Every structure is written in C-alpha cells, then in structure tokens.
Amino acid sequence: MAATTTAELQQCREDNSDFLSLRLSDDEGVLNGIVRNLPYLSDLVTRVEIPYHSSTDSGYKNPNWTDSDKVEEVFEAIGELEQLQSATIRADTSSSNFPIDLVAHVLLPAKTHLKYLTFDVPRLQCSFRSITKVAKALEQMTSLQVLKLRYTILFNTGNALDYGAVDPILASLRKIPSLQCVTLNGWATGSNQSDRELLGSRRPTFDADSFGELLKSESLQELHISRIDLSFDCIMALAGAIQSNTSRLRKLILDDFPQDPQVQKCLAMAFTNNNTLETIGVSHSAPMEGTDNFLSMMAGGLVKNTGLTTLRISPYPLSQYRPKIQEAFVEALKVNTSLTSLHVAQAGGRSPENYPPALLHYLKLNQMKRKGFLEKDNNKISHAEWVDKMVEASHDLDAFYYFLRLNPSLCPVVVKEDDSGDKATSTPESEEKAEPEKDEEKAELELEVERLKKELEEKKAEVVQENGKEELEMEVERLKKELEEKADVGTDEGKAELEMEVERLKKELDEKAETGQDDDEKEELEMEVQRLRKELGNLRLNFLGRPDQQTASSRQVWSTVPEKKEEEDAEAEEAEEAEEAEEAEE
C-alpha cells in the first residue's frame, strides 16, 4: 500500500472527515507533502492513526525512525492539530527501533487537548536523555485521560541505564490531573538482548517507590499491567495500596504475577479488604495445584468484599479444580449480592458453561439486582417495583420463587368473620374501598350545612332590633344547650362544625345589634328563624333519628322531639295573639 498522498489529504478536507490515517514513507517528498497539508485539517481532524505496515509490502518502505528530521516534523504537525483528541501509533520496527522521544513531539503541541494516546510499537528505543524528555512532556499534559503502551519492549541504547530507569515516566504520570487509565503491556520476544530490556518480561522494571507513587494518583481509575516482570517489592506496594484503600482504582488487570505463595496470600488479603475496586483480573503461570489456596482465599474474600462486580482468574477453568474450590465460590455467592460476572477459565476464553448450577443461579440473581430487594433494604422498594421484578423473573422458576420467598406478602389475604358467622376474605385494596362508605353519611350532613350557610349569607344585609336580637340569642343558647345534651349522637366532627356555625351566628348578631328595622322586617325575620328552626329539627331527625344511626339512648332522647315542636308552635301562636291585642289597644 502506497504512502498517503497530497490528493488524499485534500479529499479528507472535502469530505469533512474527522479521522485521518497517515501512511508514512522514507520518501522525503511524501513527508514534506504531509507536513504542508496537515495544517489545513487542523479544525477538522480529531483522530489520527499511523497504521502498521510491513516493510515487505510492495511499493512501500517504512521511514528510518531513528535518523530522519522529517519524521519529527510530521509528529509535530500531528500534535499541532487543534482539534486532535486521539492519536494511535502502530509502527513496524523490524528494520529499526522506534525512538521514544518521538512521543514528545506529539505531546508538547497537544498538551491541552490530547485525551487518548496509544503506542502499539514492538521495539521502543530509549536512553536516559529521551526518557527524561518524555517525562517532562507528560508532566505538562492537562487533558490526557488514557495512555497505552501495548506489546512494547523498551530497549536501552546506552550502558548507563539500569533497573528503575523508567521511574521518571511513572512519577510524571501521577502529576497528570486528568489521567484515568494506564496500560503497560510488554512483549517477550525471546531475543538475546534481554540484558537491555527496560519494559519487558525478562527483568524487574520499576522501582517499588515510584510504582507506589503512581498508585496514589487521585484520578487514576484503571491500571492494566501485562507481561511485565514486577519485582516482589512492587507487588507488595500494590497490595498495600489496595488493602489500605489509598488508591482510587476501580479496575485492576494484573497478568503474569509472581508464583510466590506469599505474593498470592498478600494479593488475596488486599482484594478482601478493598472497597474501591469493581473489576479484578489476575492470571499466573503457576501449576494448578499451586493455585488452590489462592482461589480458596479469593472465594472467601468475596464474602467480605461487597463492592466487586467482575472477577476474572486464569488460566485454569473452574471445572478442573477440586469440588471444594467450586463449593467455596457457591457459598460466597450466597452472601455476596454484588458480583455479576465470574470468569475462572482459560485466558481469552468465554464464560464457562460447566459451572455448578447453584453458582450460575446466584450469579443470575445478582444480575437481576437482588441486592436492593433483600429484607434489610426492601422497605425502600414499592409494591409496583416488587411486581415488576416478579414479572422480570417469570421466565425463570427458580428466580421467581426466590423473589416470592423474599416478599410473601405480595398478595396478602386476611380472613374475617361477619355478623352471620361466615368467613370472608379481604385484601388491603378492598379495605381501602370500604373507607368512603363510612364517610357517606357525614358527607350528607356537611352538604346540608353548606346549604344553610349559603341561605344565611344571602341575608347578611338584614338587621334586627334589640327585641329581635334577644329572642334570637335565646334561641341560639337553647340550640347550643340541646347540642350539648345530645353529644352522644352523631360524629364529633359534625358536632364541632355545628357549634362553630352557632358561634358565627352569635358574632354576626352582635355586630348588627346597633341597627334597627321596622315591624314588617322583624316579622319576616322571625318567620325565617322559625323556618330555619324547623328545617334544623328535620335535619336532626333525618340523620340521627333513623334506626340504622340510632343507639338505644338516642331513640329515647329524640322520641320527645315532635311533642316539643307542638309546644313551641303553640307558644308562637300565643305570642302573636298577644301582639295583636296590644296593637288593638293602642
């Protein structure tokens, strides 16, 4: 495949493409064309990739990475793209190593906007000067979130570098305020240059102190370390940071860690006491019989660690371990309600299908979020949410039974006996429907009171003379006394409302006592009072005189109401005759 041409860069501009794949060449004319045209894409391109191409491709030859000023200019032009957020570099290093200081040519111009940087370069060439240069460039990054060095070996080009030479890079990573994910993936080539490897699987790479400093990063959430020979001290620093929860890691992938039993014990204890990690992936090359204790400790740790959601352990499948190991995971998941994914299998393999049925059952329940429905938390779950969960579990009889057993009161039935002695069943819903019927009679009384209140409001403009006031006051006092004598009949609410109405009428009469009216208005008001008195008596009879509302005492009290009414009518007639006689004498 030929290198990228000027015409292709122009076409990228016309297509408004935000992705650019740059195929470099040893031809300086091609490199000059790329440097000239990249600025025209500065406001458009957000992702740049330098793809891997073998030098054996027809018509294509990789540039000389170690001896080309034009290559440096190309990397600077990439970093100067104003919208650049992601850069991926995949280089063929079969003919020459890739100088690590080329990274700095991208980092420095893009320090405020580059977020993702990935190097898939098998052989990175470094020296003390180049490592220091890259470390200083990393310290100035303010937006970098993800840094990946994958399938990479750092080769020392001098004699002054030794163990811990890449520590300045680790120290600079901690200073990046936005860094969230770091991947360090070595690549064992089996070359005879193992004495010069600084990032690989043949010798310890990091100093324990610098590695521990990286783990203290306030922003780092994911750490992937694979095919890199970590020293015993580095493993202890990692375990200490995890166990003391001084790191903010949410995801840790640690492959090919040492086989030492003490290392396995320290890691298992660290995972048990950690409360920040959500995903753990570990693998090792120890014989199966040497990992039994490690798996037993990890299973026991799941009882205490309730924050972990994903656990991956390789390279041996769970079915090949002793039944005791399998049972340990089953017992752990009876208690652990957070773990939703357990992968104990060969590296890269799918989730095994030969797990014990009980283990699969509890994993499925955790995936259905059973944690929120347990008895200690279910006071926060509404009835509708319980029903929705039962519907969700309806396709699985075991899951359905599990949730029903957690809350057997989803459909409660209460057995009651009625007056005839027959048994009847009721639910909370039926009891709620019965409540309005109990208040029906009270509602009728309230409506009648409102009607009387409205009629009285219409007569607010009318006033009474002193004699009329005294007569009405006497009537009010009589009614009030009558209400007090019959307090055992009707509801307390109805009595209170009538008493309030009586007090309001008294207040109204006091306010209007100073004004007078003629005899015709007085007679009209007296007739209205008589009518209201009659209606109020009928209202009491209707509400309290019915057999279904009366008690024995109420029937006795109200049996004299008609006689009192006749006496009151006779007294009213005598009063009228007396008034007529007085008028005749006058």
Residue 85 · residue 114 · CB < 8 Å: yes
pLDDT at 430: 46
Of 10, 40, 5, which Cα lies nearest the Cα of 24?
A: 5
Q: What percent of the chain has pLDDT over 90?
A: 19
Domain-embedded: residue 7: no
Q: What domain range is 238 assigned to?
A: 43-373
The set of residues, in sequence order, having a beta carbon less than 8 Å from that of 242 and lying 6+ positions away, is 249, 252, 270, 271, 274, 277
Mean of pLDDT values over 497-509: 66
Q: What is the pLDDT of residue 308?
A: 93
- In terms of domains, do 237 and 333 share one? yes
- Kindly state whether residues 328 and 410 are assigned to the same domain: no
Per-residue model confidence (pLDDT) at position 519: 56
* Higher-pLDDT residue of 499, 159: 499
Instruction: Tell me whether residue 438 is in a domain.
Output: no
pLDDT in tens, 395-416: 777 877 777 777 666 555 444 4
**pLDDT at res. 492:** 55
Whether pTM > 0.85 for this model: the answer is: no
Domain match, 62 and 203 both? yes
Give yes or no for a cis peptide into 315 (omega within 30° of 0).
yes
Specify the pLDDT at position 279.
Answer: 95
Same-domain check for residues 314 and 396: no
Is the per-residue pLDDT at 225 higher than 70?
A: yes
Per the structure, the count of domains in the chain is: 3
Looking at residues 348-370, what average pLDDT do you find?
A: 79
Residue 400 within a domain: yes
Among residues 231, 249, 296, the alpha carbon closest in space to that of 269 is found at 296
Which structure tokens are listed for 334?
A: 């009876």
Mean pLDDT rounded to a whole number for the chain: 74
CA–CA distance, 478 with 577 (Å, rounded to integer): 24
pLDDT over 90 (residue 425): no
Number of Cβ atoms within 10 Å of the Cβ of 332: 21
Check pLDDT > 80 for residue 514: no
Distances (CA, A) of 119 to 52, 89, 151, 190, 244: 11, 5, 9, 21, 32
Nearest alpha carbon to residue 357 among 379, 335, 327: 327
Q: Do 103 and 137 contact (CB within 8 A), yes or no?
A: yes
CATH number for 187 = 3.80.10.10
Split at pLDDT 50, 70, 90, the class of 111 is very high
pLDDT surpassing 70 at residue 551: no
Q: Does residue 532 lie within any of the structural domains?
A: yes
Whether 509 and 515 have beta carbons less than 8 Å apart is answered as no
The answer to whether residue 17 is domain-embedded is: no
User: Which has more confidence, 202 or 81?
Assistant: 81
Give 368 or 389, the one with higher predicted confidence.
368
In a shared domain, residues 71 and 85: yes
In terms of average pLDDT, the best of 65-69, 187-191, 262-266 is 262-266
Range in 250-259, 371-380, 385-394 the model is least confident about: 371-380
Highest mean pLDDT out of 46-55, 487-496, 525-534: 46-55
The lowest-confidence range among 95-109, 161-175, 223-237, 499-513 is 499-513
Say which range, 26-30, 212-216, 289-293, 549-553, has the weakest mean pLDDT.
549-553
Q: Is 271's pLDDT higher than 60?
A: yes
Is 29 inside any structural domain? no
Residue 352 reports pLDDT greater than 70 = no
Let me know whether 407 and 468 are in one domain.
no
Question: Which pLDDT score, from 0 to 100, does residue 409 have?
Answer: 62
Between 207 and 313, where is the model more confident?
313
Q: Supply the pLDDT for residue 190.
A: 46
pLDDT band at 77 (very low <50, low <70, confident <90, very high): very high
**Please, are residues 98 and 123 in contact by the beta-carbon 8 Å criterion?**
yes
Does pLDDT of 176 surpass 90? Answer: yes
Count helices and strands in the chain by DSSP H and E runs = 21, 16
Do both 284 and 384 map to the same domain?
Answer: no
Residue with token string 């992938």: 253
Q: Residue 392: which residues within 8 A CB-CB, separation 6 or more?
A: 368
Yes or no: say if 168 and 128 are a contact pair by the CB < 8 Å rule.
no
Does pLDDT of 388 surpass 70? yes
Q: What is the spatial distance between Cα 447 and Cα 451, in angstroms, rounded to a whole number?
A: 6
Per-residue pLDDT tens over the stretch 20-60: 988 888 788 888 888 999 999 989 999 999 887 665 555 56
The H or E element spanning position 324 is: helix 323-335
Residue with tokens 């002695």: 421
Asked whether the beta carbons of 75 and 106 are under 8 A apart, the reply is yes
C-alpha 80/C-alpha 113 separation (Å) is: 10
- Residue 434: predicted pLDDT: 43
Instruction: Please state, in angstroms and as integers, the Cα–Cα distance from residue 280 to each residue in 102, 228, 274, 285, 533, following that order.
Output: 34, 17, 11, 17, 86
Q: Is residue 62 part of a domain?
A: yes
Alpha-helical (H) ranges within 108-254 are: 128-139, 167-174, 208-215, 232-243
pLDDT at 273 over 80: yes
What pLDDT score does 281 carry? Answer: 92
Cα 372 to chain center, whole Å? 12
Considering the domain architecture, whether residues 403 and 543 belong to the same structural domain is answered as: no
| Cβ contacts of 488 within 8 Å, gap of 6 or more | 551, 553, 554
Cα–Cα dist 236/100, whole Å:
29
Is the pLDDT at 549 greater than 60? The verdict is no
More confident residue, 2 or 531: 531
| 406 shares a domain with 515 | no
Q: Around 206, how many Cα atoms within 13 Å sit in the side-chain half-sphere?
A: 26
CA dist 200 and 165 (Å) reads: 13
The least confident of 393-407, 446-460, 552-566 is 552-566
Strand-pair category, 146-156 with 197-199: antiparallel
Q: Return the percentage of the chain with pLDDT > 70, whole number.
A: 60
Same-domain pairing of 220 and 101: yes
Residue 555 has pLDDT above 50, yes or no: no
- Rounded to whole angstroms, the Cα distance separating 126 from 118 reads 17
Mean pLDDT in residue range 525-529: 68
Instruction: Tell me what pLDDT residue 541 has.
Output: 58
- Does 381 lie in the same domain as 233? no
- Residue 426: per-residue pLDDT: 46
For the record, the structure tokens of 473 come out as: 């006051």
- pLDDT over 50 at 311, yes or no: yes
- Residue 442 pLDDT more than 70? no
Residues 366, 488, single domain; the answer is no
Rounded Cα distance, 229 and 200, in Å: 7
Q: Strand pairing of 423-426 and 86-90? A: unpaired
Strand locations in 132-278 (E)? 146-156, 181-186, 197-199, 222-226, 251-254
106, 114 Cβ separation under 8 angstroms: yes
Would 2 be classed as within a structural domain?
A: no
pLDDT score, position 249: 92
C-alpha 14/C-alpha 85 separation (Å) is 21
More confident site: 454 or 183: 183
pLDDT at residue 240 above 70?
yes
User: Would strands 251-254 and 310-314 be described as parallel, antiparallel, or unpaired?
Assistant: unpaired
Angstrom distance (rounded) from CA 300 to CA 331: 9
Question: pLDDT value at position 552?
Answer: 45
pLDDT, residue 509, reads: 63
